[in-house]
Amino acid sequence: MVSRENGAWLKETGRRYVIGTPKAELKRWAKQIEERTDWRHIRDDVEVKLCRSPEGDETFVLCRSASRVEKERAMHDRFKARIDTALASLERRIEKSKKPLDRGLIERQIGRLLERNSRAAGGFTISITDDAAHASGIRMSRAYRADWTDWARLSEGLYILRTNVTQWSDEELWTTYIQLTEAEAAFRVQKSDLAIRPIWHHKEGRIKAHILVCFLAYALWKTLQQWQSRAGLGHCPRTILTEFARIHAADIVLPLAHSSKRELRIRCVVRPERAQTILLERLGLSLPQRLKAPPMTQM
C-alpha cells in the first residue's frame, strides 16, 4: 500500500514501511554525509549509505543520485542568479532615487522575490536600514551566506529514506522505495499516453473492455521499454514512438493501359531518415519495401 503521511511518501509492506523523508531531515545526518566512507554504489548513478538511529529501532538510508546533483545544482545556480540580478537592480534604484522611498514596500518586494526563488533564498543575507544621508532615506546591504552555499553543494542530489526494517540491505531498501516511482509512472502513462480516462462508455461490459485494452497497451509499452533498455536507447518508449510515428506508407496509383476503369495500386513504405534508421538498427528491426495493398475497387 502506498500513502502520503506528514509530507512524505510512505510505502507499506505488511507492518513494515519505507518512507522518503523531507529534505530538511538531511541536516541531522550532516556528519555522515561529509564522511566519504561506507558509501556503496548500487547503480551507475546512485550511491547509498546505511545509518542506524540512536534507539536502534529504525534505519536511515542516505541516497545520492548523480543525475539529481546536476539538476539541483543547475536549479540553485539559476535561482541564485535571478535573486542576484533583481537585488542589484533594486540597489541601483535605491541609490539613484531622488525622493524618499517606502521602506515597507521595498521589504515586501524583496520578500516576494525570495518567495519566487525559494530554492536559493537561504543563500542571501539582506538588510534594509534607514539612511538620512541619502535622498531615498534608506540603504540596502546584501551578502552571500558561505555556510548555506557549502551545505547546498554538499546536499545536492541527496535524499533520505527511513524504515523500521532492520534486516534488509541498503540495496533492498532502495529498490523497495523506488518501486513507488514506477507505480507513479504507470499511472502517468495510463492517463496521458494510453488515455484510460476519461471513459465515455456507460455499459459495464464496454467499460471493462476499455480498461482491458488499456492494460494490454501498457503491457506492450513495458515490453517496448525493456526492449529499448536492452538496446541501450534509454527507458522512455514515448521518444521511440514519437520518432517512428513520422514513418509513413504511401500508395502509388497507376492507370492500366488496357482499361481506363482499372488501376494498379502499389503501397510503399517511405524511406526512413537517418535517426530513424539508427533506431531501427539498434532495435534489430527492418521495414518492408512494399506492403500488401487493399483489393482494387471496380470503377
112 or 242, which is more confident: 112
Mean predicted confidence (pLDDT) in 189-197: 75
d(CA 107, CA 44): 46
pTM above 0.75, yes or no: no
AA identity, residue 99: K
- Confidence class for position 5, pLDDT limits 50, 70, 90: very low
Q: What are phi and psi of 102, to 5 degrees?
A: -80, 110
Task: Encode burial over 117-137: b for 16+ CB neighbours within 10 A, e otherwise.
Answer: bebbbebbebebeeeeeeebb
92 or 177, which is more confident: 92
**17: closest CA among 160, 162, 159, 175?**
162
Domain ranges of the chain: 2-65+154-169, 70-152, 192-243, 246-291
> What pLDDT shows up at residue 86?
94
Chain centroid to CA 10: 19
Mean predicted confidence (pLDDT) in 113-141: 91
Residue 64 has pLDDT above 50, yes or no: yes
